[in-house]
Amino acid sequence: MMLVLGIESSCDETAAALVTADRTILAQRIASQDEAHRPYGGVVPEIAARAHAERIAPLIAATLADAGLALGDVDAIAATAGPGLIGGVMVGLVTAKALAMAGDKPLLAVNHLEGHALSPRLADPALEFPYLLLLASGGHCQLLLVEGVGRYRRLGTTIDDALGEAFDKTAKVLGLGYPGGPAVERLAATGDARKVPLPRPLLGTPEPHFSFAGLKSAVLRAREAGGHDPADIAAAFQQAAIDCVIDRTRLALALAGPVGALVVAGGVAANLAIRAALEALAAGHGLRFVAPPLALCTDNAAMIAWAGLERMAAEGGAGAGDPLDFAARP
């Protein structure tokens, strides 16, 4: 049974995981840096890179120990090679290269977005290609038609902010701290969205792109104008975000052609209100709705190991590796 060590370090999570080809996660560890970045209300690249450099080696050693395994037991080393914060990506990729060299194992340089795109298949063996994926995280907001391993068609993307970023900035404006998504969702549940009129950028436009900068500014203006309950602002923001997401996803479904499922991944997939709206959209189209468990939605190393396993299966065995001079990508 093929066994891959996955390494993820592209944002503010240092993570390692051991995953087998039959979808078993033998061990995984995630060291979050939320505390280090909280005073700044967002991820500080320099702080993130240093934290990755301190943590990554002991974290990998501990993950192997958790599974009672050694480097020699692993068939390949998969690591995020980008896109992400370059300092962190370099730490993870160079560590993977060193382990690949030391253990004489193939290196699998994985695109972080490919990790997110394929992670639903780690959780759900029945999920087959093609599917439409909404990938919404702190750094990305894309609609991808996933046709197969290595075959992704981007139908839409954000022209400014990512959706998670908009949640984080809204949280900052409302004084809710970092990371903001869960806090905004909690507060929104107690508010009335109708009390604060907010824009729905790009709604109804002919390509399924996203824009959240104008919405973010409108939240700031509503806050500065005063007189609004923060819970109502949170609810109005979340409702505007949902309306945009559903309109854009509906259009992408129309453009995608036949698909078997609508899938959501990325940190924002943790939002239950967004999930519910997407589930209803899928049901309206007679489609399966797939949302991986939250631990697989946010940044993690199991999805990187799994993307490596998918690639090996598609390309024929662990012989399919990347060169040791593979470049890290910001």
Mapped onto helix, strand or coil, the DSSP state of residue 216 is helix
Q: Which of 28, 33, 63, 271 binds ligand KG4 (CB under 6 A)?
A: 271
**What strands lie across the sheet with 131-136, from one edge to the other?**
151-157, 141-148, 131-136, 261-265, 288-290
User: Hey, which residues between 109 and 138 contact ligand KG4 (CB under 6 A)?
Assistant: 137-138
| Cis geometry, peptide bond prior to residue 130 (ω within 30 degrees of 0) | yes
The verdict on whether residue 41 carries a ligand-binding annotation is no
Using rule CB under 6 A, residue 82 touches ligand KG4:
no
Q: Which amino acid is at 243?
A: D
Q: Which stretch binds ligand KG4 (CB under 6 A): 16-24, 44-52, 164-172, 307-315?
A: 164-172
Nearest to 106 by CA among 236, 2, 21, 262: 2
Contact of residue 95 among Zn ion, ligand KG4, none (CB under 5-8 Å per partner type)? none
Task: Select from 82, 180, 201, 308 the one that contacts ligand KG4 (CB under 6 A).
Answer: 180
168 is in an annotated binding site: yes
160 is in an annotated binding site: no
Sort residue 68 into left (φ over 0), alpha (ψ -120 to 50) or beta: left
As a whole number of angstroms, the distance between CA 211 and CA 207 comes to 12
For residue 321, the partner it binds in ligand KG4, Zn ion, none, with Cβ less than 5 to 8 A by kind, is none
| Contact flag: residue 185 with ligand KG4 (CB under 6 A) | yes
Q: For ligand KG4, which residue of 266, 292, 308, 321 counts as binding (CB under 6 A)?
A: 266
Are 147 and 128 in contact, with CB atoms under 8 Å apart?
no
Confirm or deny that 68 is annotated as ligand binding.
Answer: no
Residue 260 contacts ligand KG4 per CB under 6 A = no
Which of 252, 2, 268, 35 lies closest to 146, judged by CA? Answer: 252
Residue 220: both structure tokens together? 């700031």
Cα gap 59→145, rounded to integer Å: 34
Please choose, out of 88-96, 145-153, 161-169, 280-288, the segment that lies near ligand KG4 by the rule CB under 6 A.
161-169
- How big is the site for ligand KG4, counted in residues (CB under 6 A)? 20
Beta carbon of residue 198, minimum distance to ligand KG4 (angstroms, whole number): 16
Residues that bind ligand KG4 (CB under 6 A): 11, 137-139, 164-165, 167-168, 179-182, 185, 266-268, 270-271, 298-299
